[in-house]
Amino acid sequence: MRSGRSRRPRAETVGGAPLDLRPVTQAGLRGLITIVKERWDRPVFLVLASVSLVALGLILFFIFREAFPVLREIGLGGLFGARWNPTGNPASYGALPMIVGSALVTIAALLFAIPLGFAAAAFIAEVAPRWMKDVAKSVLELLAGVPSVIYGFFGLMVVAPAFQRAFGLSTGRTALTASVILGIMALPTIASLAEDALTAVPNSYREASMALGATRWQTIRRVTFPAAFSGLIGAAILGMGRAIGETMAVLMVAGNAPQITASLLKPVRTLTGAIALEMGETAMGSTHYHALFALGVILLVIALVTNGLAEWFRGRLARKHGR
Amino acid sequence: MVGQESGTTTARSIDATRDWLERNLHSTSIIETERFSFFYGKEQALRDVSLGIPLDGVTAIMGPSGCGKSTLLRAFNRMNELYPNTRAEGTIRFLGQDLLKADAVAVRRHIGMVFQRPNPFPKSIFDNVAYGPRVHGLRNRAQIAELVEESLRRAALWDEVKDHLKKSALSLSGGQQQRLCIARALAVRPTVLLMDEPCSALDPKATDRIETTTRELAQELTVVIVTHNLQQAGRISDHVAVLLADGVLAEFGSTKTVFANPSNDQVADYLCGRFG
């Protein structure tokens, strides 16, 4: 019966639509034609979409593959040692100075970027009149689009000399300088995502609060911010991801001394800085080379975890308000 | 001001307000509008509305869609100005004071509001009701708890939620959420309660409960309710204002009189359900 149908030269139709309702995979030649003519989109888009996934997979694979030998050569203890001196004799490849450097710079940057970013977001989302909102949002987007080397330049020429004079230092290229520049760079990300989170809070909450005689500030503090909480956390974490992964600007102003310090007024080297500085000077396949890839793995893991966390928090916000 | 100082029993405060009105203003209207007009940008939503909301009973504001009834209600607690580009003309007096020149935050402590869709905060049931008092500086835990219970009782919700006050308000049914919103408004101990089509998102049973609660509340405070439901207005209101297209007040009087004997043909058509 099946073959009898599909052999018909023209499908029987009712009201313009074919009467044959069998799934295309069972409808013989007509089904095949349907697949080619009308359902080509799924496989094509599947291939296109998988390209980016495959690319990510390949990047992960190669970085892990290049990083792996370092474990055999110096072990996990060696990798997380406190001394980074690849050209010394004996050479040491402890990543701790860079991990601490990255953490110090990032935390200090967020300490001022998060409050400032949230405040800017609250102003844009809750207080500013329409025209100012538009201006502020485009300024934020502009800030986010400035190449990082320009920020580094600004840090080198303006911020570093200022700190050198202000604190009487031998060099202005310190963790603090890097933090300030990183904070400025993370600010647009944090402010713009936090603004999205605040805007996603239903207006009915604000109305309810205002109708109870709350002031605008009370409404922001007690209703809008708590309701947007997970989105705000997501914004902060993505800002952190931005700060920890930044390379060029930090390289220019952090001073790049691979030392473990808790002082913001000393030069530090970050994970990103170490890779960018040293990769060009190492012999391919050397321990140093593999150790730099291991730094890359550490950075990658931090980035993936922060992004995952941020998405989770932002998703939670969306579910909470049924969007 | 009036209505908040009577101590423990809020039910008595309406009597105090009545005395005050008679003594000082020789009036029984708690809110009076005089040639009140309202504009959204260039569009005029209300035209020269003059009426007095009586202190006692429930006043219903009715009219076809887009006639400005919600705008009029929201003018009473200055909620309209949360939108940009609005403008008001004429005067509204609340207890003799110029409402439009008053401090909006102070006004809203006296004139509470319940919205069309239940809009509890994503907080616990307790925190929802306690929000107003806390915002107004009440810190004493025992007093807050007392006020929460009192407000939930007045909104006829206490028995259903007393064992899980810590649960999220969003876990309640639509009707319960709306009664929670009423309780939340009552916790500020307002003199007037505005209700903007409070039952339009609810089923008949939940609607019935809200209507009963509203009737009871009218013993203690002034209730102004916007509704497009003629039967509802007939059931719960003592006075009715009918706005017609373009925001003109066509009729204002006791519900019985207006329903039985409308003075205006258009109002008669509206009440017969011929439009709107």
Q: Chain B contacts of A214, Cβ < 8 Å?
A: 105, 131-132, 135
Interface A–B counts its CB contacts (< 8 A) at 66
Q: Give the chain B residue whose CA is nearest to the CA of A204.
A: B119
Q: Do B79 and A213 touch (CB under 8 A)?
A: no
Above 70 in pLDDT, residue A277? yes
Residue B247: exposure state from Cβ atoms within 10 A (0-12, 13-18, ≥19): buried
DSSP three-state, residue A91: coil
Helix runs in A40-80, H state only: 41-67, 69-79
User: What are the structural domains of chain A?
Assistant: 1-37 (no CATH), 79-320 (1.10.3720.10)
Pseudo-torsion of CA A127, A133, A135, A136, nearest 10°? 60
For residue A122, what is the enclosing H or E element? helix A96-122
Q: Chain A contacts of B135, Cβ < 8 Å?
A: 209, 212-214, 218, 222
Q: How confident is the model over B167-222, as pLDDT tens digits?
A: 999 999 999 999 999 999 999 999 999 999 999 989 999 999 999 999 999 999 99
Q: How many angstroms away from the CA of A226 is the closest CA of chain B?
A: 9
* Per-residue DSSP letter, A283: P
Share of chain A above pLDDT 90, in %: 62
Nearest to B62 by CA among B248, B258, B250, B226: B226
3-state helix, strand, coil in chain A (%, to 5): 75, 5, 25
Q: What is the pLDDT of residue A1?
A: 46
Q: Chain B contacts of A205, Cβ < 8 Å?
A: 119, 121-122
Q: What is the pLDDT of residue A158?
A: 95
Nearest to A227 by CA among A134, A112, A319: A319
DSSP three-state, residue A20: coil
Instruction: Please give the residue that has the higher pLDDT: either B271 or B121.
Output: B121
Sign of CA dihedral A208, A211, A212, A217: positive
Q: What is the pLDDT of residue B1?
A: 41
How far apart are alpha carbons A199 and A256 in whole angstroms?
40
Q: What is the mean pLDDT of residues A97-112?
A: 95
Q: Chain A contacts of B105, Cβ < 8 Å?
A: 213-215
Band (pLDDT 50/70/90 cuts) for residue B275 is: low
Q: What is the pLDDT of residue A7?
A: 54
Q: What is the pLDDT of residue A322?
A: 47
Q: Do B105 and A207 touch (CB under 8 A)?
A: no
Q: What is the pLDDT of residue B8?
A: 43
Residue in A205, A215, A218 closest to B121 by CB:
A205
How far apart are alpha carbons B162 and B150 in whole angstroms?
11
Give bridge partners of residue A14 from the DSSP assignment: A17
A95-111 CB burial, b ≥16 within 10 A, e <16: bebbbbbbebbbebbbe
CB-CB contact of B81 with B104 (8 Å)? yes
Instruction: Please give the residue that has the higher pLDDT: either B9 or A261.
Output: A261
Above 60 in pLDDT, residue B9? no
Q: How many angstroms away from the CA of B124 is the closest CA of chain A?
A: 12
Q: Give the chain A residue whose CA is nearest to the CA of B109.
A: A213
Q: Do A210 and B188 touch (CB under 8 A)?
A: no
Above 80 in pLDDT, residue A140? yes
Q: Chain B contacts of A227, Cβ < 8 Å?
A: 121-122
CB-CB contact of B102 with B110 (8 Å)? no
Band (pLDDT 50/70/90 cuts) for residue A11 is: low
Q: Chain A contacts of B123, Cβ < 8 Å?
A: 226
Band (pLDDT 50/70/90 cuts) for residue A213 is: very high
Give bridge partners of residue B196 from the DSSP assignment: B226
Residue B239 CA, distance from chain mean position = 14
Residue A130 touches partner B, C-beta closer than 8 Å: yes
How far apart are alpha carbons A147 and A137 in whole angstroms?
18
Residue A129 touches partner B, C-beta closer than 8 Å: yes
Residue A210 touches partner B, C-beta closer than 8 Å: yes
Above 50 in pLDDT, residue B4? no
Q: How confident is the model over A31-60, as pLDDT tens digits?
A: 888 778 887 888 888 999 899 999 989 999
Sign of CA dihedral B217, B218, B221, B223: positive
Band (pLDDT 50/70/90 cuts) for residue A69 is: very high
* First-last CA distance in chain A: 49
Average predicted confidence (pLDDT) for chain B? 90
Q: What is the pLDDT of residue B218?
A: 94
Above 60 in pLDDT, residue A8? no
Q: Chain B contacts of A208, Cβ < 8 Å?
A: 115, 119-121, 181, 184
Q: Chain A contacts of B171, Cβ < 8 Å?
A: none
B150's CB contacts (< 8 A; 6+ apart) are B10, B187
Please spell the DSSP secondary structure of A176-230, one letter per residue: HHHHHHHHHHHHHHHHHHHHHHHHTS-HHHHHHHHHTT--HHHHIIIIIHHHTHH
Residue A322 touches partner B, C-beta closer than 8 Å: no
Q: How confident is the model over B62-107, as pLDDT tens digits?
A: 988 888 999 999 999 999 988 888 999 999 999 989 999 999 999 9
How far apart are alpha carbons B249 and B255 in whole angstroms?
15
Nearest to A96 by CA among A86, A74, A81: A81
User: What are the structural domains of chain B?
Assistant: 56-79+103-271 (3.40.50.300)
Share of chain A above pLDDT 70, in %: 94
Residue A201 touches partner B, C-beta closer than 8 Å: no
Q: Do B119 and A130 touch (CB under 8 A)?
A: no
Neighbour tally for B156: CB within 10 Å: 17
Instruction: Please give the residue that has the higher pLDDT: either B149 or B83.
Output: B149
User: 3-class secondary structure for chain B?
Assistant: CCCCCCCCCHHHHHHHHHHHHHHHHCCCEEEEEEEEEEEECCEEEEEEEEEEEECCCEEEEECCCCCCHHHHHHHHCCCHHHCCCEEEEEEEEECCEEHHHCCHHHHHHHEEEECCCCCCCCCEHHHHHHHHHHHCCCCCHHHHHHHHHHHHHHCCCHHHHCCCCCCEHHHCCHHHHHHHHHHHHHCCCCCEEEEECCCCCCCHHHHHHHHHHHHHHCCCCEEEEECCCHHHHHHHCCEEEEEEHHHEEEEEEEHHHHHHCCCCHHHHHHHCCCCC
Q: How confident is the model over B217-272, as pLDDT tens digits?
A: 999 999 999 998 888 999 999 999 999 888 899 999 999 999 888 888 888 888 88
Classify A168 in phi/psi space as left (phi over 0), alpha (psi -120 to 50) or beta: left
Q: Do A205 and B122 touch (CB under 8 A)?
A: yes
Neighbour tally for B26: CB within 10 Å: 7
Q: What is the pLDDT of residue A26?
A: 81
* First-last CA distance in chain B: 40
How far apart are alpha carbons B55 and B36 in whole angstroms?
20
> Which of A127, A209, A212, A230 is best to mutate for the B interface (most B CBs within 10 A)?
A212
Q: Do A205 and B119 touch (CB under 8 A)?
A: yes
Above 90 in pLDDT, residue A204? yes
Q: What is the pLDDT of residue A9?
A: 55
Residue in A211, A223, A320 closest to B108 by CB:
A211
Q: How confident is the model over A245-267, as pLDDT tens digits?
A: 999 999 999 999 999 988 999 99
Q: What is the pLDDT of residue A323?
A: 39
Q: Give the chain A residue whose CA is nearest to the CA of B194.
A: A211
Q: What is the pLDDT of residue B125?
A: 96
pTM of the full structure: 0.81
Q: Chain A contacts of B132, Cβ < 8 Å?
A: 212-214
